[in-house]
Amino acid sequence: MAVVEAIDLKRTYRTSTGTLRRKWKDVEAVRGVSFGIEKGELFGLLGPNGAGKTTTIKMLITLLIPTAGTARVLGYDVVKDAREVRKRIGYVFGGERGVYERLSGWDNLRYFAELYGVPPDQQKERIESLLELVGLKGREQERTEGYSRGMKQRLHVARGLLHDPPVIFLDEPTIGLDPVGARELRGTIASLVEAGKTVLLTTHYMFEADALCDRIAVINKGEIVAHGTPGDLKRGVAEGAVVEVEVFGLPDGTVERVRELGGVRSVSVEEREQAQVLIVQTGADVELTHAILGRLNGANVGRISRREPTLEDAYVALVSSEE
Amino acid sequence: MRTLRLLAVGWYFQFKAILRSPFEGLFQVIYPLFFATVAFLMFRAGTDQKTLLYASLGAAVMGMWSATSTTAAGAMQRERWHGTLEALVASPPHFSLILLPITLAMSTVGVYCLVATLLFGRFLFGIDLTFEHPLLFVLSIVGTVISFGALGFLFAVTFVRFRAAWALGNLFEYPVWLIGGFLVPLVLLPDWVRPISWALAPTWGMNAIRESSLGGTPLPDLAICLALGAAYLTIGILVLERVLTAARKRAALSLT
């Protein structure tokens, strides 16, 4: 039996526009998402902003009730047995919010240790070991209002692990962390999986998903558009190639013009200081560099390169093919 | 035992967080001074020390009520702003066991307001603080704090679901000063107001505090005050699960 099961989960939000004459509109944030996570697995949920990742996680951790579909964690229904689910899961949300700023890091952890039923005689030891784990040892008596974004983020991680839960949900946990802090946290996540925990991770960083996840589901506009191991996803675009063209002042409409070329699978643009990099995924046997340059309307071009696709390219291809 | 511990630890940390708020700190300094002055100016024509104590006690409970009603109203809003409301809801205990210590912590701050108002009255205006039944006076204060906490709990339950409800809390502050008979005896109010006064625990808490200070029988008032507190709690607990389900359905927990 899967530890985490989502079966055709749907979630609709009702939003309104206007002040006096309100018009109501239903927005489908998650449109029939299904997946299962086995014990001890690290499962990645990838998708652009607004794809439905956080909504999915919030349904699984009982903060939102699904509009349709069911979800179970360790066999407990997230709607009917919410309290049983809560006892057995830990979750970490990215960002700075969610801590009591007027309390110290230690007090924050003590309060939540009590809420999560950590036995009183074990709380001190548990909190100390978690402070050590997340690198906040020595700063625990300071009020969290003085913590940096990264420190608050690490406090979130410690809080999520207080009751040693068998299932952990991590929603973009490395967001806001400096590169060293993010690498350390990835190490911590890997050690959790080694210790037998089941983890659901959402992230924007492809290399993070590639390095950590056993399986990945790519979610876009509320639907899972692909899932498999990182290798499976890469293989989906492996027979292709990626052409990167550095352009100084990309003319309007270039993306659309390049997309019209035969053999082009996806086109995206990345900002890099003064330049924009046009990233074009093509089929394996086509050479489109000249054709792409011909569609730039004479813009200044810098470096041009052709390379093998990465997991990030696989993700971009999946997400942009849905647009 | 576990439940009591949870309530006590929750109270302790929430109380600590409130004490460190500069906004609420300022409130606690200004309110007692303001209320003690108002009460003295209203009743200074009376030469009887008991009248002045009557007024001073009213002012003290006014401060206590203001501290509870305004901070309870803001409490859930603050939890939303800080993003901690979701963290509290996602934790395993019944939410009432998390919410009640928050509102009790607020009414405890009100005790400081009560004591400070009495002391300001004593030292600024020379109001004699001699209580007829000191032990019953303390008991009456404890009972009033608990029932204020329970009423704050009932307010807070509404605030979990309705974001704008914090404004309602502020709205309740002034009418209860009057309807609760804090400064003006209830007999002077129109008849139709009385049933509302009777349904409010602050009215009975005020009576109990006055009866124990000025001489009388505070225990029946205290019993009614506590019974009303228990009723608010029961209603709050019964409604809470439904309110939370509605908030989870409408995705209202993370909104600020």
List, for residues A79-136, the tens digit of each pLDDT value: 999 999 999 999 988 777 888 988 999 999 999 999 999 999 999 999 999 999 888 8
Within chain A, all domains assigned CATH 3.30.70.260 are found at: 235-321
Q: What is the pLDDT of residue B38?
A: 80
Within chain A, all domains assigned CATH 3.40.50.300 are found at: 4-227
Q: Other C-beta atoms within 10 Å of B251: how many?
A: 18
Instruction: Measure in Å the smallest separation between the Cα of B142 and chain A Cα atoms.
Output: 25
Chain A residue closest to B2 (CA)? Answer: A117
Residues B167-189 have pLDDT tens digits of 776 777 788 888 888 888 888 88
- What torsion do the CA atoms of A263, A265, A269, A270 make, to the nearest 10 degrees? -110
Beta bridge partners of A24: A16
Residues B14-73 have pLDDT tens digits of 888 887 777 666 766 777 778 778 877 777 766 677 777 888 888 888 888 887 777 776
| A250 contacts: CB under 8 Å, gap ≥ 6 | A269, A276, A278, A296, A299
| B212 contacts: CB under 8 Å, gap ≥ 6 | B131, B132, B133, B136, B137, B139, B140, B218
| B93 contacts: CB under 8 Å, gap ≥ 6 | A115, A117, B6
pLDDT over threshold 60, residue B256 = no
pLDDT over threshold 80, residue B13 = yes
Structure tokens belonging to residue A42: 């690290």
pLDDT over threshold 90, residue A165 = yes
Of B71 and B83, the one with more pLDDT: B83
Q: What is the pLDDT of residue A201?
A: 93
Could you tell me the strand order of the sheet in which A241-248 lies?
A264-272, A275-282, A241-248, A300-307
What average pLDDT does range A294-316 have in this prediction? 82
What average pLDDT does range B214-225 have in this prediction? 90
Q: What is the pLDDT of residue B46?
A: 63
For residues B53 and B129, the answer to whether their CB atoms sit within 8 Å is yes
pLDDT over threshold 90, residue B221 = yes
Chain B residue closest to A62 (CA)? Answer: B90
Q: Given pLDDT bands bounded at 50, 70 and 90, which one contains residue B248?
A: confident
Give me the residue from A86, A99, A100 closest to B91, CB to CB: A86
Q: Given pLDDT bands bounded at 50, 70 and 90, which one contains residue A321?
A: low
pLDDT over threshold 90, residue A62 = yes
pLDDT over threshold 90, residue A294 = no
d(CA A291, CA A262): 10
Give me the residue from B20, B87, B245 closest to A98, CB to CB: B87
Query: Hey, what amino acid is at B117?
Result: T
Asked if A112 lies within 8 A of B91 by C-beta distance, the reply is: yes
Average pLDDT, chain B: 83
Give me the residue from A98, A102, A117 closest to B17, CB to CB: A102
Residues A11-31 have pLDDT tens digits of 988 777 777 778 888 888 889
Chain A residue closest to B252 (CA)? Answer: A64
d(CA B145, CA A107): 25
For residues B204 and B56, the answer to whether their CB atoms sit within 8 Å is no
Q: How many residues does chain A have?
A: 323
Instruction: Measure in Å the smallest separation between the Cα of A104 and chain B Cα atoms.
Output: 10
pLDDT over threshold 90, residue A41 = yes
Global pTM?
0.82
Report ipTM (2 d.p.). Answer: 0.83
Q: Half-sphere exposure (CA, 13 Å, Cβ side) for A130?
A: 24
Alpha helices for B215-255 (secondary structure H) = 218-249
Fold of A235-321: Alpha-Beta Plaits (3.30.70)
Q: How many residues does chain B have?
A: 256
Q: What is the pLDDT of residue A5?
A: 93
Instruction: Measure in Å the smallest separation between the Cα of A91 and chain B Cα atoms.
Output: 9
Q: What is the pLDDT of residue A119?
A: 93
Residues A67-93 have pLDDT tens digits of 999 999 999 999 999 999 999 999 988
d(CA B90, CA B88): 5
For residues A111 and A130, the answer to whether their CB atoms sit within 8 Å is no
Residues A168-224 have pLDDT tens digits of 999 988 877 788 888 888 888 888 898 899 999 998 777 888 888 999 998 888 889
Residues B188-197 have pLDDT tens digits of 888 898 899 9
Q: What is the pLDDT of residue B159?
A: 77
pLDDT over threshold 60, residue A167 = yes
Beta bridge partners of A264: A282
Selected residue of A92, A102, A145, A147 to mutate for chain B interface (largest B Cβ count, 10 A): A102
pLDDT over threshold 80, residue A290 = yes
Asked if B84 lies within 8 A of A98 by C-beta distance, the reply is: yes
Is B88 part of the contact surface with chain A (CB cutoff 8 Å)? yes
HEC per residue, chain A: CCCEEEEEEEEEEEEEECCCCCEEEEEEEEEEEEEEECCCCEEEEECCCCCCHHHHHHHHCCCCCCCEEEEEECCEECCCCHHHHHHHEEEEECCCCCCCCCCEHHHHHHHHHHHCCCCHHHHHHHHHHHHHHHCCCCCCCCEHHHCCHHHHHHHHHHHHHCCCCCEEEEECCCCCCCHHHHHHHHHHHHHHHHCCCEEEEEECCHHHHHHHCCEEEEEECCEEEEEECHHHHHHHHHCCEEEEEEEECCCCCHHHHHHCCCCEEEEEEEEECCEEEEEEEECCCCCCHHHHHHCCCCCEEEEEEEECCCHHHHHHHHHHHCC
Chain B residue closest to A29 (CA)? Answer: B251
pLDDT over threshold 90, residue A38 = yes
Residues A44-55 have pLDDT tens digits of 998 888 888 989
The CATH H-level superfamily of A4-227 is: P-loop containing nucleotide triphosphate hydrolases (3.40.50.300)
Q: What is the pLDDT of residue B214?
A: 86
Contacts of A121 in chain B (CB under 8 A): none
Interface of A with B (CB under 8 A): 13-14, 58, 61-65, 83, 86-87, 91, 93, 95, 97-103, 107, 110-112, 114-117, 120, 143, 159
Q: What is the pLDDT of residue A322?
A: 52
Of B148 and B19, the one with more pLDDT: B148
| Stretch (H or E) spanning B40 | helix B22-43
Phi, psi (rounded to 5 degrees) for A291: -65, -40
Instruction: Name the DSSP class of B253.
Output: S
d(CA A88, CA A178): 30
Contacts of A99 in chain B (CB under 8 A): 82-84
